[in-house]
Chain A
Amino acid sequence: MSSNSETFNPFDPTGMLKDMRDASMDAWAKVMVDVVNTDAYADASGAMLDAWLVSSGPFRKAVEDTMKNTLASLNLPSRDEVTRLAERLTNIEVRLDDMDAKLDEVLSACRSSMDNSGN
């Protein structure tokens, strides 16, 4: 009379397959969570990441150099130059925000002095 026996249908192979799939996935999920929570996994993933960074470094540098030369030959700004420009724009934005803050202060002071003179 359990719920399992109520829902179990021997003539429904897809339902049985689905139950088997869910059960195996639950088991695998638990195993995998245990695996990734080990020091061995942490060391292995750290080593893999390190190896990838080291091995892809020359390739990345070659792409960067090629891109830099291509942009220079086309008389276009390089990535570094655009980055520096973006930094300068951010600095200008910061100054504008500072001015906005000062303006808020001035307006607030004006309002309070007008309120005081009105009283």
Chain B
Amino acid sequence: MNTTTDDSAVGNAVPTFFDVCNEWHKAMERVEKFNRFLTTDAKIAQTPRELVWTLNKAKLYHYIPTVPESQRKQVPLLMVFAIMNRPHVLDLRPGHSFVEYMLGKGYELYLLDWGAPGPEDKNLKFDDYALDYLPRVVRKVKSHSGCDEFSMLGWCLGALISTLYASLRPDDGLKNLILLTAPLDFSERTEGAFTRWTKSNRFNPNIIAQKLGNIPGEMIDSGAKMLKPVENYIGSYTMLWDNIDNPAATEAWHSMNTWVRDIIPMSGAAYEQLINEFYKENRLMEGTLQIRGEQVDLSKLKASLLNVIAESDHITPPCQSERVIDKAGSDDKEVFRVRGGHIGIMAGRGAEKNTWPHIEEWLAKRSE
């Protein structure tokens, strides 16, 4: 009896050859999974949609409604994302998608995808995006939905373009404007690394655009990643490794990484304009910005305005989005501050509990 007891005690303390093999096998499985998540693409942007308009690289999608017509909101919502990233982050993955959420609440949803500019688009400026492309998109949204009014949600540089359009064409039927992390005010010269980098005399966007034509996606991506180098170049991968056996966490990481890796160039002229006229000269807030000869006056913006600010945003610090609420001419305006980062507030874990419901509730009251 004693001998048997001693054997089992030793057996518990010292791993057997089988245990070692088993652990080795598990470790190899983890490595294989890690490698797969790094080198493959997750299925993102899966919500069914139809293409209703194209011009050059830009595409307008209409999402197939998921609720009966009687339960749908009257006013369609047009979503406008930034020009240097794909808009798939708005429809990241089934079960965690802003598009899916809003469709479930009865909205007619349209998404503008600016597409990737080619060499022939290197002269595209914000003038073209705001006064050529966007008015055409709006016309199509109106004719397709059969509604003369519409709401618009702009995110990052998409919010900048939306703001320009809303100020220049206030009578075009825009009823509600939602700005997400909108980089509009660059008066604070020390907040945000982008502002600091671009004010340096050693940084000349004109030469960069002249030499490169369009700004390569890799350059924009590395610039954004260098704002938080340790988190982006190391932390992101250690987080994946630590959670490699957690399917929910790895699925979220994989879909986000798929979106992050899908980089596109930015038109050279738009880049020059962004750095010179917005970052360096702060023309929009100073009231000196002219778009195709028209003065951009924020006081002419009449649509109901919801300004969503991410409190931990390192790309668009809160100070760059705050002042628009004072300048806008809208009678109905609200600021919504969310804890989170530039992308996290809409695509992070807390988005469906905080940001999406607030946006939906605000919009629902104004979409009947």
Interface residues of A (CB under 8 A from B): 18, 21, 25, 28-29, 32-33, 36-39, 41-47, 49-50, 53, 57, 60, 79, 83-84, 86-87, 90, 93-94, 97, 101, 104
Beta-carbon contact of B227 and A83 below 8 Å: no
Chain B minimum-CB-distance residue to A33: B228
The 8 Å CB contact of A36, one of B55, B199, B226, is B226
- Inter-chain CA distance A83–B231, complex, in Å, is 39
Beta-carbon contact of B55 and A46 below 8 Å: no
- Inter-chain CA distance A40–B265, complex, in Å, is 27
Query: What 1/0 mask marks residues of chain B from 215 to 252 whose CB sits below 8 Å from any chain A CB?
Result: 00000000000111111001100100010000000000
Beta-carbon contact of A86 and B202 below 8 Å: no
Beta-carbon contact of A29 and B231 below 8 Å: yes
Beta-carbon contact of B55 and A97 below 8 Å: yes
Cβ contacts under 8 Å, B242 to chain A: 18
The 8 Å CB contact of B136, one of A36, A39, A97, is A97
Could you show 30 A-B contacts with beta carbons less than 8 Å apart?
Answer: A18-B242, A25-B235, A25-B238, A29-B230, A29-B231, A29-B235, A32-B228, A33-B227, A36-B226, A42-B199, A42-B203, A43-B201, A46-B203, A47-B202, A49-B203, A50-B204, A50-B207, A53-B207, A60-B211, A79-B119, A83-B119, A86-B118, A86-B120, A87-B120, A90-B56, A97-B53, A97-B136, A101-B136, A101-B139, A104-B143
Beta-carbon contact of B200 and A53 below 8 Å: no
Q: Within 8 Å of chain A (Cβ to Cβ): is B291? A: no
Beta-carbon contact of A28 and B230 below 8 Å: yes
Cβ contacts under 8 Å, B314 to chain A: 33
Chain B minimum-CB-distance residue to A104: B143
Q: Within 8 Å of chain A (Cβ to Cβ): is B336? A: no
Beta-carbon contact of B227 and A43 below 8 Å: no
Q: Within 8 Å of chain A (Cβ to Cβ): is B197? A: yes
- Inter-chain CA distance A39–B199, complex, in Å, is 9
- Inter-chain CA distance A112–B251, complex, in Å, is 52
Contacts A57-B211, A93-B54 supplied; 17 other A-B pairs, CB < 8 Å = A29-B228, A32-B229, A33-B228, A37-B196, A42-B197, A42-B202, A45-B203, A45-B226, A46-B200, A50-B202, A83-B120, A86-B119, A90-B55, A93-B55, A97-B53, A101-B136, A104-B143
Cβ contacts under 8 Å, B31 to chain A: none
Across chains A and B, the number of contacting residue pairs, with CB separation under 8 Å, is 82
- Inter-chain CA distance A48–B208, complex, in Å, is 12
Secondary structure call for the B interface? helix
Query: What 1/0 mask marks residues of chain B from 127 to 140 whose CB sits below 8 Å from any chain A CB?
Result: 00000000010010
**Distance (Å) between the CB of A77 and the closest chain B CB?**
13
Q: Within 8 Å of chain A (Cβ to Cβ): is B102? A: no
Beta-carbon contact of B208 and A37 below 8 Å: no
Cβ contacts under 8 Å, B53 to chain A: 97
**Distance (Å) between the CB of B1 and the closest chain A CB?**
29
- Inter-chain CA distance A32–B228, complex, in Å, is 7
- Inter-chain CA distance A94–B55, complex, in Å, is 7
Cβ contacts under 8 Å, B229 to chain A: 32, 36
Most B CB atoms within 10 A — which of A18, A28, A46, A79?
A: A46
Q: Within 8 Å of chain A (Cβ to Cβ): is B193? A: yes
Chain A minimum-CB-distance residue to B191: A37
Cβ contacts under 8 Å, A36 to chain B: 193, 226-227, 229
**Distance (Å) between the CB of B276 and the closest chain A CB?**
15
The 8 Å CB contact of A49, one of B56, B119, B208, B228, is B208
Cβ contacts under 8 Å, A93 to chain B: 54-56
Chain A minimum-CB-distance residue to B143: A104
Cβ contacts under 8 Å, B208 to chain A: 49, 53
Q: Which 8 A-B pairs have the closest CB atoms?
A: A46-B202, A46-B203, A29-B230, A42-B200, A86-B120, A42-B197, A83-B120, A90-B56
**Distance (Å) between the CB of B4 and the closest chain A CB?**
26
**Distance (Å) between the CB of B26 and the closest chain A CB?**
13
Chain B minimum-CB-distance residue to A87: B120
Q: A50-B207, A83-B120, A97-B136 known; A39 and B238 CB under 8 Å? A: no
Cβ contacts under 8 Å, A44 to chain B: 202
Cβ contacts under 8 Å, B228 to chain A: 29, 32-33
